Amino acid sequence: MQQLNEFLLKVDGMIGGSSWFVYLLLGVGLFFTFYLRFPQIRYFRHALKCVSGKFDKGSDQGDTSHFQALSTALSGTVGTGNIAGVAFAIHLGGPAALFWMLVTALIGMCTKFVEVTLSHKYRDFTENGQVSGGPMYYMKKRLNIKLKNGRMIKTGYVLGGFFAAATVISSFGTGNLPQINSIANSIYATFGIKQIITGAVLAVMLAFVIIGGIQRIAKVSSRLVPGMALIYFIGVVLIIAFNIQNLLPSIASIFTNLFTGTAAVGGFLGAGFAFAFNRGVNRGLFSNEAGQGSAPIAHSAARAHEPVSEGIVAILEPFIDTVIICMLTGLAILSSGVWKEKIPNTFQMADLKVLERVYDQKKSTDVEKLADYLNQRDTIALFNGNLTIVDGVISNELSILHARSLAEDITVKSGNQPFNGTLSVANGSIVALPTGLSMEGKSLLHSAPLTTEAFKKTWLGDFGKYIVSIGLLLFAFSTAIAWSYYGDRAMTYLFGSKSVIWYRIVYVIGFFLASFTDTTLIWTFSGIAIAFMTIPNLFGIFTLHREVKQTIRDYWIQMKEEHPEMKIPEKNIR
């Protein structure tokens, strides 16, 4: 399993984790931003009117309202990434990473507008009257190549099938297995409820919701999303209010280190510009999913007599997900100060490196050497050999990096007792930690544990962790609900509507099993599946850029005819 995971990591590093993939996503978004003259800004107020139903008609076809479609799409994007992803971005790139998350969201608002417009335009209705839409449908209908002799090369069918298959895989790798695993572990850590019990209860609830189809999913999402956002918003506001004296310095730190990177401060060993840019953009893109093609599947079900209004509604999605929720999470973490503090925790072996010599964080030369290593600018000597442990204490003269920080007060335990013996180390990594052994100490935290520590920095104290657990429960569960719909629409495209029930059964079973199993492999595979979804979708929307512009022009001409009282700028219809 470890060898398979290492292979998948290499594949992910060449695709989703590579710099060219980031530039592709940003490049397509920037192209449409200028080509369509900043629709994410010009159409924002109109989006609020559309989502309220102001322009709806009784004859509109679809399964959901604008608001329900937006809620379903948001429930798929607003998930663990908003709690853990932001914290991870700050951990890797420092405060400047938040700026690049913000920029990515503003560009992603335009990308989302385009992909939703096209997907809604070319949606289908199944034999039972349900709407079925998404990028695979516009690919099938519009990306085939017609030759001069009249023959048709069905490239669109191939791209659509490839995208649909990647969507089914991603529904498990992104929306199912990691989400329940995160929920179950969080509930166990906070309330002591065993993972298998949490998995069983939530699997039954999931089955009840998704077997009811998109109408029930939309109803649950339209209630769950505002509720979970409110709970989380209250917690974040409490953190910022409690640490209000740090708010302005925190905001300033996002911009002052923008092009220089963040210097070493506290336990944080520093991050350069390139590292902050890459990690901020990467986390922002995977938080709001702009360009991935997942949200258009939910928006395609919306009741609308033309596609552009739903595309305009989708502009709000990255704004809510990243500009509001992610930025508030980031400011809460920065103002609390926990992002640069070493906190007692149990070490994760994947985050640990044993160094060949002792490093002193008080020495600038040592800090600079470690920062260069962590930011992939240089290498350092790693330890090979055996660690000698006496009464839980490592007797070797060396240092250990954990979570990108120099670990302190390290102890090795066997159960609750100090360990005596040796541990084998190869190239800085402990070869195999025996069952029952754990390594503890002080180091930086990242992901959900870092956000949890920030939530303790309020008048609530340790009770703040309950907000994170409840928020994670609601966020991750709603993500699983939304992705089940994405998966069953992809199955409908590939095998017909009769295959959906079997997909839902497997989806619920996988959800239960993942609550008490290790999903490291799944997370790695998830990154690859997301890239496989995104690349054909970006190619498709870019290929159809002229059609997108004409469709938008037709929409505004129609709006001017139907609503003469509206002041529609002439540039909208030119």
Helix 96-121 / helix 327-336 crossing angle, nearest 10 deg: 170
Indicate if 198 and 139 belong to the same structural domain.
yes
Indicate if 330 and 379 belong to the same structural domain.
no
Alpha-carbon distance of 429 to 14, in angstroms, equals 23
Dihedral class, residue 38 (left if φ above 0, else alpha if ψ from -120 to 50, else beta): left
Under a CB-based contact definition with an 8 Å cutoff, are residues 283 and 89 in contact?
A: yes
Q: Tell which of 443, 475, 492 closes a domain.
A: 443
Indicate if 434 and 473 belong to the same structural domain.
no
Under a CB-based contact definition with an 8 Å cutoff, are residues 123 and 140 in contact?
A: no
Q: Comparing C-alpha atoms, which of 348, 369, 345 is closest to residue 359?
A: 369
Beta carbons within 8 Å of 494's beta carbon, 6+ residues apart: 161, 164, 165, 168
Q: What are phi and psi of 437, to 5 degrees?
A: -90, 145
In eight-state DSSP terms, residue 53 is T
Indicate if 167 and 272 belong to the same structural domain.
yes
In a domain, 448, yes or no: no
Strands (E), 137-231: 145-146, 152-153
Indicate if 332 and 349 belong to the same structural domain.
no
Indicate if 349 and 321 belong to the same structural domain.
no
pLDDT of amino acid 472: 81
- Please list the pLDDT of the chain residue by residue as tens digits (574 residues): 556 666 777 787 788 667 788 889 889 999 999 999 999 999 999 999 888 878 777 766 776 777 777 777 776 677 677 777 788 888 888 898 888 888 888 999 999 999 999 999 999 886 666 778 899 999 999 998 776 777 777 888 999 999 999 999 989 888 888 888 878 877 887 788 888 999 999 999 888 888 766 666 666 666 666 777 777 788 888 899 999 999 999 999 888 877 777 888 888 888 877 767 776 776 676 677 788 898 898 888 888 878 999 999 999 988 988 888 888 889 999 999 999 999 998 888 777 899 999 999 999 999 999 988 888 788 899 999 999 999 999 999 999 999 889 999 999 999 889 999 999 999 888 887 777 888 999 999 887 788 888 988 888 888 888 888 888 888 888 888 888 888 988 998 999 888 999 999 999 999 999 888 765 566 667 778 888 888 999 999 999 999 999 999 999 988 888 878 777 777 766 6
Indicate if 439 and 462 belong to the same structural domain.
no
Under a CB-based contact definition with an 8 Å cutoff, are residues 142 and 465 in contact?
A: no
Instruction: For residue 176, give both structure tokens.
Output: 């199912």
541's enclosing H/E stretch is helix 520-543
In eight-state DSSP terms, residue 369 is H
Alpha-carbon distance of 238 to 329, in angstroms, equals 11
Indicate if 423 and 467 belong to the same structural domain.
no
Length of the chain: 574
Q: How far is CA 48 from CA 29, 107, 287, 312, in A?
A: 22, 19, 22, 9
The parent domain of residue 355 ranges over 344-443
Which amino acid does the sequence have at 87?
A
Question: What is the CATH number for 493?
Answer: 1.20.1740
In a domain, 67, yes or no: yes
Q: Tell which of 443, 476, 503 closes a domain.
A: 443
Alpha-carbon distance of 306 to 554, in angstroms, equals 10
Under a CB-based contact definition with an 8 Å cutoff, are residues 294 and 531 in contact?
A: no
Under a CB-based contact definition with an 8 Å cutoff, are residues 32 and 111 in contact?
A: yes
In a domain, 450, yes or no: no
Indicate if 39 and 169 belong to the same structural domain.
yes
CA 282 vs. chain centroid, Å, equals: 9
Under a CB-based contact definition with an 8 Å cutoff, are residues 481 and 117 in contact?
A: no
In a domain, 451, yes or no: no
In a domain, 312, yes or no: yes
In a domain, 449, yes or no: no
Alpha-carbon distance of 210 to 504, in angstroms, equals 7
CB-count exposure of residue 189 (10 Å: 0-12, 13-18, 19+): middle
Q: Is 303 helix (H, G, I), strand (E, B) or coil?
A: coil
Alpha-carbon distance of 348 to 497, in angstroms, equals 43
Indicate if 351 and 498 belong to the same structural domain.
no
pLDDT of amino acid 222: 65
Q: Kindly tell me the number of DSSP H helices and DSSP E strands found in the chain.
A: 25, 15
In a domain, 349, yes or no: yes
Indicate if 437 and 558 belong to the same structural domain.
no
In a domain, 96, yes or no: yes
Indicate if 470 and 386 belong to the same structural domain.
no
Q: Tell which of 414, 443, 472 closes a domain.
A: 443
Runs of H (alpha helix) within 212-326: 213-242, 247-256, 273-288, 295-299, 308-314, 316-318
Structural domain total, the chain: 2
